[in-house]
Structure 1
Amino acid sequence: MKAKAESDLRTVHNPDPEWWRGAVIYQIYPRSFQDSNGDGIGDLLGIARRLPYVASLGVDAVWISPFFTSPMKDFGYDVSDYYDVDPMFGSLADFDHLVRAAHDHHLKVFIDLVLSHTSDEHPWFRESRSSRDNPKANWYVWADARPDGTPPNNWLSIFGGSSWQWDTTRCQYYLHNFLQAQPDLNFHEPEVQKTLLEVARFWLDRGVDGFRLDTVNFYTHDAQLRNNPPLSADQRNPITAPAVNPYTWQDHLYDKTQPENLVFLRKMRALLNEYDAAAVGEVSDDQRGLEILGEYTTGGDLLNMSYAFDLLSAHAPSAAYIAKVTENLHRVAGLGWACWAFSNHDVPRHGTRWKLSEAGYRCYLTLMMCLRGSVCLYQGEELGLPEAEIAFEDLQDPYGKTMWPAFKGRDGCRTPMVWDASNQNGGFSSVRPWLPVNHDHLNRAVATQEHDPAAVLHHYRRAVSFRRNHPALRKGSLTDIGADGTVLRFVREYDGEFMFCAFNLSGEPAVTDMPEGKWHQVGIDLGSAGPAPDGRLHLGPWQPALALRATHDKKGGRGWQTSG
């Protein structure tokens, strides 16, 4: 199935072919952004209604999580029709309206394309499971049982248990890296790749500017179905799954991240280039995430950028940790491009996860706007929303239901956006929402913060604007990275603009030195520190220091000039 090209939905040709590099992308979780029809579930017209607010943040693009037709066993990440909108979210006409509205507000549109697996209710899978010799028999990953009837190998599902499910019609197992209801497509089958590229073209023709490619390193599996080796307890690095999940006990060498994946990614990039579009891939791997990021984004013919998990860490990243991550990224992916996030729809909100004060929350945001790479902000993050407490009886997430109470699932970060405090529904809906609105969130509603100049919402706007106005932060190199106790420091440079950045990532005062040269202080409205009489930087708790090198100064000596 193909769409008629909708040329009027596309933005004009962008004079900057690398518009995505350094972009700030705002993630919208459709179920929880804005309900427009009073059913308690957010929808596409609701998103369109709130785009003026999104544009007011100064971001470059929106990333819309899945809205395709789906039985919603994993809330849209189980697709049963790639070519249509699920009725709970609206229609294709509503989507076209949303794209036009976004472009009218100078916002690019990324949609979440889930290609590694489908729903078990997708017609492709129904046909595939019907026999071993039908036209789509090889479209999914099928394997015979071992002689004792057990699954073909030891691969595990992220959602718990074996990643193999027995099917009584074919008398074979099928692979599912996630829910049993999410069978994996077989990327070793050429027709699968061809069809999925047609899916991507369908949405590009409807005006989207790019894709967030869900679980992009899961596309291909080891054709020999070799067992994954175990990891000892001290080797485990639980990033993609909680520590209580035995998924983290394996080194996932064979169930994902196979070299054949690069062939498909090159085809995808060639298609994107036809439309001046871009893709950010979600790379999920505990052991080699940065290496895969580099492999998938280096060379100009693969992904534009890759979603990095290293700052979605369980604990607040220290100066030494961020310096190490940055150095490792430069070593294994120096020519690649990361996309950073602190929060998303899959992890507890970082203010709660890291136990941050409001000053710490602001400092980390300013830091992220100064890192090399693009940035994803998650809806409600700009309000300083904490993780919501969800009672078990209100829980919707199958992941949480399976692993409760050691892991409470993902619903706490997926509760509805709070627009005003006029009622318990926070302006999200006229009826009880699909997840309850947290009472503490109501006190942080958009309408409340708009009228408070000191609110964190305005800090986000200032930080995004600061990044936009400095090419060194958007596209520049990052050098001289180091950790001086609790202070993280580095220099960004692009086309003659040099910016020194330092961040005291602690609640105690700290002191650090300036690099050689004459610099003038910038970012005062972000709390940036200036020089002390002794020429050193004395940083208060959670305070940044931001400075530009004087344009005439090539080497120079130590010195400061102050500038608002």
Structure 2
Amino acid sequence: MSKNTLPVPSTEDRDWWRGAVIYQVYPRSFQDSNGDGVGDLLGISRRLPHIASLGVDAVWISPFFRSPMKDFGYDVSDYCDVDPMFGSLADFDTLIETAHMLGIKVLIDLVMSHSSDQHPWFEESRASKDNARANWYVWADAKPDGTPPNNWLSIFGGSAWQWDTTRCQYYLHNFLTSQPDLNFHEPQVQQALLDVAQFWLDRGVNGFRLDTVNFYTHDAQLRDNPALAPERRNPITAPAVNPYTWQEHLYDKTQPENLEFLAKLRKLMDRYNAAAVGEIGEDLRGLEVLGEYTSGNEHLQMSYAFELLSNKAPSADYVKEVMDKVAEVASDGWACWAFSNHDVERHVSRWGIGDAGARLYTTLMMCLRGSACIYQGEELALPEAVLAFEDLQDPYGIMFWPAFKGRDGCRTPMVWEPNEHHGGFTIGQPWLPVSHEHLRMTVEDQEKDPAAILHHYRRSIAFRHAHSALRKGEMTDLKTDGTVLSFLRKDGAEELFCAFNIGPEPAAIDAPAGKWQQVGVELGSTGTAPDGKFHLGPWQPALALRM
């Protein structure tokens, strides 16, 4: 397939992303096609029918660009090429063609806030203070005593500043020292990154997942972040053992100038009917920033914060608190909800839930207002893999072990067949060990079992697609009654009542006024009893359509 040279006008729904279900693929761990133990693009193409069988609308592919792999692809050395580990541009074209043939849109993970220190842009920038790209990264002089320019900290630990002996200046890195931050105050940097986005849009992608989207722009005055009182610390984006959580990050990220760049990116995406979901890394104002970044039609279409990716199991009261906050600060915006991804412990382990809880939370996600993102293996209810220290690859986990074990436990290879070597992922030695526990939960085994959670995911996604009120409708009448969360979803003439008993004990709630017909029986939904109440068993939903 040859790449397009111009955007193709489309009569397709320009709001296709609203209410969409997105499946995240971590390429290193999805499917290996050549036996080197690392997943690749042709492996993804081979397994796209499985993704399509779930009924999802789009696939999000984590980075596959050229990279020294210090942070496993989130340190990019060439934005417009595929790392040989993952294949070639021709392999990517095959993936795009296959996905589109199956009716799946493709979002790719763009890492714009920083590059690798091996990117030619940085190599030129660090060479002198007066070359053509000298201002493409965030450089600053030391304080008179030789210490860093300010107190900003890296998410990966320590100062966010690294001394460079060539320029005799510090450069900013919000993550690894090998991931220098690009300077978005430089117009040429913004244009170069817009050119990167257009390169992939021309190649056929349908949009982007934007890594650390609120980190793009820093305070030009380099003001110190204030200290954060212990009682205000909310370790969502970093583990509690990381002193990163001890600051209020007023100046190193989430600057107002960021919106100006996002407006430029939105104009470009609109030419292609493309969409983006932004990752917002904010401990204190995540939902407020979500509202700022997605309200109206000028910036991002959707964003996800970390409220449902946190360690706090979503009780009825907590979900109501989150959704009430969204209604308050982002009523005109659009969230994308996720329980698991490549950066956090898998949610069935993180929240300590069993099969019934996993099923209920899946149904709940498909009924919440917003779009939804599920992470590879989530449809199998895979728990976090347990790894020995010597098996770790993630620099984050190695840095903070054992208090924080890193992200490798959620990145182990996907399990496809129980009788195949390494679960059908590879014929070689996998880059991370395949979990023995996961080998009892493979796709092949669950396909054969009508009661497996894999089929529940399919039914939940189909239920969402069957009701416009769930995809695009408003959410009203949000209530809690003990362990039961309930709300109404409405779009046009369709109105759905949704209730979820988020707990291990039976519960009963009054039915709303009017006549209701039970729906979602295949999801375990209960109907109204003669007493006019919904009687919910442990971890059971009630789903009803207004007559």
Fold match (TM-score > 0.5):
yes
**Helix, strand or coil: the match of 1:369?**
helix
Return the alpha-carbon distance in structure 2 between the equivalents of residues 129 and 318 of structure 1. Answer: 50
Determine if contact 1:4/1:205 at 8 Å carries over to the other structure. no
What residue in structure 2 maps to residue 173 of structure 1?
170
Residues 353-410 of structure 1, C-alpha deviations (whole Å, 9 max, x = no match): 0000100000000000000000000000000100000111110000000000000000
Query: 1:352 aligns to what SS in structure 2?
Result: helix
Checking the alignment, whether the CA contact within 8 Å between 1:11 and 1:103 is kept in structure 2 is no
Q: CA deviation at 1:516?
A: 1.1
Matched, 1:359 2:364: no
The equivalent residue for 1:20 is 17
Q: CA deviation at 1:4?
A: 8.2
1:109 aligns to 2:114 (yes or no): no
In structure 1, what residue type is equivalent to 2:229?
S
Equivalent position to 2:490, from 488, 493, 500: 493
Runs of 4+ in structure 1 over 4 Å off: none
Tell me by how many angstroms 1:153 deviates. Answer: 0.5
Aligned pair 1:67/2:93, yes or no? no
Alignment map for 1:360-379 (pairs within 5 Å): 360-379=357-376
Q: Provide the residue aligned with 1:308 in structure 2.
A: 305
Residue 555 of structure 1 aligns with which residue? Answer: none
Residue of structure 1 equivalent to 2:147:
150
Match of 1:41 in 2: 38
* Preserved contact between residue 504 and residue 539 of structure 2 (Cα < 8 Å): yes
Q: Which residue is equivalent to 2:398?
A: 401
Measured in 1, the distance between the counterparts of 2:5 and 2:533 equals 56
Establish whether residue 475 from structure 1 lines up as the match of residue 480 from structure 2: no
CA contact (8 A) 1:197 1:268 kept: yes
- Give the secondary-structure state (helix, strand or coil) at the position aligned to 2:209: strand
1:495, distance to aligned residue in structure 2 (A): 1.3
Instruction: Give the secondary structure class of the aligned counterpart of 1:439.
Output: coil
Residue identity matched to 2:21:
V
1:443 to 420, 440, 443: 440
Q: Which amino acid aligns with 1:32?
A: S
1:434 corresponding residue in structure 2? 431
Classify the secondary structure of the residue corresponding to 2:444.
Answer: helix
Query: Deviation digits for residues 314-354 of structure 1, max 9, x if unmatched?
Result: 02111001001100001000000000000000000000000
1:384 matches 2:381: yes
Secondary structure of the 2:422 match is coil
| Deviation readout 1:131-180 (Å, 9 max, x if unpaired) | 00000000000000011110011100000000000001111000000000
Alpha carbons 1:11, 1:207 under 8 Å: kept: no
How far did 1:5 drift? 4.8
Name the counterpart of 1:558: none
What is the identity, as a one-letter code, of the residue corresponding to 2:313?
A
Per the alignment, residue 532 of structure 1 pairs with 529
Mapped contact 1:424–1:437 kept (Cα < 8 A): no
Shift of 1:517: 1.1
1:279 to 276, 279, 284: 276
For residues 235 and 152 of structure 1, the distance between their equivalents in structure 2, rounded to whole angstroms, comes to 26
Deviation at 1:309, TM superposition (A): 1.2
Query: How far apart are 1:431 and its partner, in Å?
Result: 1.3
Counterpart position of 2:4:
6
| Residues 27 and 64, structure 1, Cα contact 8 Å, conserved in 2 | yes
Match for 2:291 among 294, 299, 303? 294
Q: Secondary structure at the match of 2:241?
A: coil
Q: 1:513, CA displacement in angstroms?
A: 1.4
SS in 2 for 1:437: coil
Look up the match of 1:559. none
Match of 2:315 among 318, 330, 333: 318
Which amino acid in the other structure matches residue 138 of structure 1?
A: N
Contact persistence 2:421–2:427 (CA under 8 A): no
Change (3 A) 1:445 1:7: farther
Equivalent-residue separation in structure 2 for 1:123 and 1:344 (angstroms): 30
Superposition deviation, residue 532 in structure 1:
1.8
Secondary structure at the aligned position of 2:236 is classed as: coil
Q: What's the secondary structure of 1:462's corresponding residue? A: helix
Residues 504-543 of structure 1 aligned to structure 2 (within 5 Å):
504-543=501-540
The answer (yes or no) to whether the contact 2:8–2:272 under 8 Å persists in 1 is no
Q: CA deviation at 1:100?
A: 0.2
CA distance in 2, matches of 1:228, 1:281: 24
Task: Supply the distance in 2 between the matched residues of 1:11 and 1:363 (Cα, whole angstroms).
Answer: 41
* 1:97 to partner: Cα distance: 0.4
* Map of 2:193 onto structure 1: 196
CA distance in 1 between counterparts of 2:14 and 2:350 reads 37
Instruction: Tell me if 1:235 matches 2:232.
Output: yes
Structure 2 counterpart of 1:219 = 216
Q: Which amino acid aligns with 1:128?
A: S
Work out the percentage of aligned pairs sharing the same amino acid: 71
> What TM-score do you get using the length of structure 1 for normalisation?
0.96
Match of 1:560 in 2: none
CA–CA distance in 2 between the matches of 1:239 and 1:216?
16
Question: 1:7, 1:50 → 2: CA distance?
Answer: 28
Residue 337 (structure 2) aligned to one of 327, 336, 340: 340
Structure 2 counterpart SS, 1:500 = strand
Q: What's the Cα RMSD here?
A: 1.2
SS of residue in 1 equivalent to 2:22: strand
> Displacement, 1:11?
8.1
Letter in 1 for 2:79: Y
Deviation at 1:7, TM superposition (A): 6.0
